[in-house]
Structure 1
Amino acid sequence: MLHIITDSTSDITQVQAAREDLIVVPLHNLFGVEEYLDGVTISTEEFYQRLATAEDLPTSSQPSPEEFLTHFNRCKEEGSSAVVITISSRLSGTFQSACIAKDMCEYDEIYLVDSFTATLGLNSLVQYAKILRERGLSAKQIAEELEDKKQKVRVFALVDTLKYLKKGGRLSASAALAGTLLNIKPIIEVKDGVVEVAAKSRGIQGAYKKVMELVEEANGIDMEFPYCIGYTGDINLTQNFDVHSKEYLKKQDITKVAIGSTIGVHVGPGACGIGFFSN
């Protein structure tokens, strides 16, 4: 048997994981002294409800090595293999926890991939791993293919409110005020394993257009690979982006992903974006 293991920053729910034969190891969300397992003891919807009323931004922490070790030991006992695909090591210590767990397990058939991306990009990478498994590739072959293709994965997302960038210290109060008055919408990307501001646009319609321009500048979407659009908070807030992306992609069954806490804590509700493999 070949297991595909990822973490909750992939925004793959536990229900989806069970349906698609995936294993999702949750990160930990902390609202003050209250700790939750991402996607297990707190849903994405509940996270945004708590975020809206929180005085201080919640924080997150990586899973412990023991949380990965439970799954690795099961693989060892079964004589099965696993491909483990985690959030970028430049954004979280999750990959390091998985490395420690593999050393503890002392089992060669565990293959670790540092995705160098997050959220929609990680989701697309995991979906590609699932396709490769269905094609009959071994865990080693899948890991090698992911290492080769992960540099093509891109994520762009527009931010509807500057409130959470300001609360998180990523934007000064004066810059946030000026940006709000001018109706500035930052567009962020995951690049070289970290989150950066890729562009800024005036107004939400301009931001929709700018996201697609950035997609084009990244050589466009390779339609041979999985891709998805995502949103934070209420899906109804992103209907216009949904329509805009469908016009660009010329496809009606685009996968929609509820973006979880990893990116959501910084951008707040109303953000939307796209994750894909570039040409």
Structure 2
Amino acid sequence: MNDYIICMDASGDIIADIAREHNVAFVPMEYSLGDEMRTSHGCEEEEVLKKFYDGQRNGDLTKTSQISPFMYEEYFKQYLEAGKSILYFCLSSGLSSTFNSSKLAAENLKEKYPEQEVLPVDTLAATGGIGILVERAIENQKNGMDIHENYNAITAIVPKLRHYFMVQDLMYLKRGGRVSAATAIVGSALNIKPMLEIDKNGKLITVDKKRGNKAAMTSLYKFFAENFDQESGNTVYICDADTPELAKELEQRVRESCPGVEVRRTMLSPIIGAHTGPGMLSMILVGK
């Protein structure tokens, strides 16, 4: 079971060069910008992402579509028919039904492809959290781990992932049912920047509020300083929804305080950006 591919869905964020170099596969996901339906195949070009977030700023509504078990089966078949098993990294089951759909697809494919396997990982993560796990899986595979060893090693890390982020407007999360209407209305008042985490069950929770972007960015840096543990993992992801100035300042503060850290900067996938809105900024790492 050492002949397997590493696959992630398009809601995750990873450095494009890393994905290309190691042949990471992406399950495509659909999203809309206004009346236009689009498909994300992962690691979108910056020009596409900027157009997406500019569209949100101009009032275009954005939403995403779920992946059905049938769609997963059709996607996975191309690799199974080539004799390869699949280690698949999926958006948190606390945020989407895609993990359950991928599990059902994997079970349906067992009879037809008994020599191969599809192992979905419930990452309890999103965006760069999935990227961190995929990077670990790449290293594990290079070091000779078979698919089951790799799956077990990765699932042991999942509870240690930490996501902390700010959003400009909670109304995007409210539209997708991720936070309540009352929380969204309160959080959107008077330049208050809500601070959110993904909890141990992979669900979004609001944990703090900061007045203005600078205070929110400082809170993200403080989160890094309190939670980063170089022995647990030296890679952190800073993902932003087209707010490069704040992301760059956060990166500089992280590098100055911990020169050896591997900082990955990416723009946020439109699959997640559809629900967070423009101006989101995150700090994602493996915690103590």
TM-score by length of 1: 0.85
Partner of 2:209: 200
Once residues 264 and 278 of structure 1 are traced to their aligned partners in structure 2, the CA distance between those partners, rounded to angstroms, is 24
Equivalent residue for 2:285, pick from 269, 276, 279? 276
Shift of 1:251: 4.1
Partner of 2:186: 175
Identical amino acids, percent of aligned pairs: 26
Shift of 1:39: 4.2
2:60 pairs with 1:51: no
Shift of 1:268: 2.2
CA spacing shift, 1:64–1:135, aligned 2, 3 Å: same
User: What aligned pairs does 1:32-181 form with structure 2 within 5 A after superposition?
Assistant: 33-39=35-41, 43-55=48-60, 57-106=61-110, 107=113, 108-161=116-169, 164=172, 170=179, 172=182, 175-176=186-187, 179-180=189-190
Aligned residue pair count: 274
Q: Is the 8 A contact 1:14 1:39 kept in 2?
A: no
Once residues 40 and 198 of structure 2 are traced to their aligned partners in structure 1, the CA distance between those partners, rounded to angstroms, is 21
Q: Which moved more, 1:125-134 or 1:230-239?
A: 230-239
Q: For 1:10, what is the secondary structure of its paired residue?
A: coil
Q: Is the 8 A contact 2:243 2:281 kept in 1?
A: no
Q: For 2:11, what is the secondary structure of its paired residue?
A: helix
Q: Is the 8 A contact 1:238 1:270 kept in 2?
A: no
Q: For 1:9, what is the secondary structure of its paired residue?
A: coil
Equivalent residue for 1:230, pick from 222, 239, 251? 239
Once residues 242 and 137 of structure 2 are traced to their aligned partners in structure 1, the CA distance between those partners, rounded to angstroms, is 27
Shift of 1:14: 7.0
Q: For 2:165, what is the secondary structure of its paired residue?
A: strand
Q: Is the 8 A contact 2:198 2:204 kept in 1?
A: yes
TM-score by length of 2: 0.82
Shift of 1:212: 3.0
CA spacing shift, 1:164–1:75, aligned 2, 3 Å: closer
Which deviations, in whole Å up to 9, do the C-alpha atoms of 1:48-84 show, x marking residues without a partner?
13222235x3211222334332443233323222211
Which deviations, in whole Å up to 9, do the C-alpha atoms of 1:194-250 show, x marking residues without a partner?
111122223333222222333455x43345533211111142453222222223332
**Stretches of structure 1 lacking an aligned partner (at least 5 in a row):** none
Which deviations, in whole Å up to 9, do the C-alpha atoms of 1:247-266 show, x marking residues without a partner?
33324752111112343234
Equivalent residue for 2:265, pick from 242, 256, 269? 256
Shift of 1:6: 0.8
Q: Is the 8 A contact 2:241 2:277 kept in 1?
A: yes
Q: Which moved more, 1:207-216 or 1:37-46?
A: 37-46
CA spacing shift, 1:85–1:163, aligned 2, 3 Å: closer
Once residues 58 and 197 of structure 1 are traced to their aligned partners in structure 2, the CA distance between those partners, rounded to angstroms, is 22
Once residues 232 and 155 of structure 1 are traced to their aligned partners in structure 2, the CA distance between those partners, rounded to angstroms, is 15
